[in-house]
Amino acid sequence: MVVMKENNLLSSLSQMGVGLGAKNQAFELLKGLEFPTRKTEDWRYTSVKKILKKKYVQFNEAEKVGLSNEIVPSLDAYNVVLVNGVYSKELSDLNFPDEIVLDTFPKALEEHVSLIHSTFNGIAKNNEEVFTALNTSYFHEGVFIHIPKKVKLEKSIHVIHVNTKCNVVSNVRLLIVADEFSEVGVVQSFASVNAMECLTNSVTEVFVKENAKVVIDKVQSEEPKNNLICTVQVNQKANSTFKINTATVSGDFVRNGVNIEVDGENCTSEMNGLYMQKGIQHVDNHTKIGHLKPNCTSFELYKGVLSDKSTGVFNGKVIVAVDAQKIEAYQQNKNILLSREATMNAKPELEIFADDVKCSHGTTTGQFDDEAIFYLQTRGISKESAKKLLIEAFADEVIDKVDSEELRIWIKEKLD
């Protein structure tokens, strides 16, 4: 067993307390894990050296901050705000319907201890993912959302993570439990205000029970020198629907992992992503969907626009188990490179152990269509404006997957 080497990240976290039994277990697992290198298969195209060598601090109290750019205008949502990883009661909207549970973990552990213990850390891969184990070991606060049976929440829940200080490390946790026949939409946004050299390590666990529906819209707009690691673990039961849309519009280092376990028949799963990096920014999207039961459908569409010396990674894997017949799984990754220095690494994968399935995958990476640009120029549009129009048209296919018009407009504004 390889023992994790001491580094600046671990020494920064060493003073944080450990509370839940799951934290203690993850902490013990952490001792036998090592941070990934380029020799680690799932991290072949992504180096974590620059985020590990920095010194970080952690906060126990939320700072007052204005969030005018993080609150989506006209979005009908309940806002839950975490500042530097700490829940801000002052900035959050506490007027939630009585039938749902929406609490921070300290409060939820007092009032809903049995439900927390039966779900928390139930599908997190602490023994496989070092950053997940770090989160479980050291997270200070998080948000617990429970939608009871047959409750359909009309308004979205907007969980806002914002950093306001430099060199902050925030291990934030989100647990969503949607009971049978329930529905909920959750928006997660990650941003910063006058903060640099920060690291946000987010882990989200989602339990989608039978006939339930959960939709997550995630917007990542960190300031250019900040770093973000987001891991989403999902478990779906029979006849359920899960969809996640991820828009990465800025961030020095961004790693997104979405892992869905489809453990029931007649499920629908959907993953969509848009990333538009520039400068020397790096974005890595890793997805995995495991079809364990028959008669299910999954869709996956990720599109990227890379300029300057930015780099991108897409690694999507679809696994169909032996007895999971009648599966339809579609995966597509498309990219546009705006400069000769931009780099894209794409690796779509299928592992199929059943014989009655319809599965496809594909990836394309290229530059602008010169004929399309020339056509627009003949209509009196400048070359730069023509490129912008083509980029917008390219991105709209993913943005249109977002159900909320207000959120679609907000994402487009973030892209400008």
3-class SS string, the chain:
CCCCCCCHHHHHHCCCCCCCHHHHHHHHHHCCCCCCCCCCHHHCCCCCHHHHCCCCECCCCCCCCCCCCCCCCCCCEEEEEEECCEECCCCCCCCCCCCCEEEEHHHHHHHCHHHHHHHCCCCCCCCCCHHHHHHHHHCCEEEEEEECCCCECCCEEEEEEEECCCCEEEEEEEEEEECCCCEEEEEEEEEECCCCCCEEEEEEEEEECCCCEEEEEEEEECCCCCEEEEEEEEEECCCCEEEEEEEEEECCEEEEEEEEEECCCCCEEEEEEEEEECCCCEEEEEEEEEECCCCCEEEEEEEEEECCCCEEEEEEEEEECCCCCCEEEEEEEEEEECCCCCEEEEEEEEEECCCCEEEEEEEEEECCCHHHHHHHHHCCCCHHHHHHHHHHHHHHHHHCCCCCHHHHHHHHHHHC
Regarding pTM above 0.75, the answer is yes
* pLDDT tens, N- to C-terminus, the chain (416 residues): 223 344 555 544 443 333 457 778 888 888 888 999 999 999 999 999 989 988 898 887 777 777 766 777 778 899 999 999 999 988 898 788 989 999 888 888 888 888 888 899 999 988 889 999 999 998 878 899 999 999 999 999 999 999 999 999 999 999 999 999 999 999 999 999 889 999 999 999 999 999 999 999 999 999 888 999 999 999 999 999 999 999 999 999 999 999 999 999 999 999 999 999 999 999 999 999 999 999 999 999 999 999 999 999 999 999 999 999 999 999 999 999 999 999 999 999 999 999 999 999 999 999 988 888 888 888 889 888 888 899 999 999 999 999 999 999 999 988 87
Q: Would you list the domain boundaries of the chain? A: 58-369, 370-416
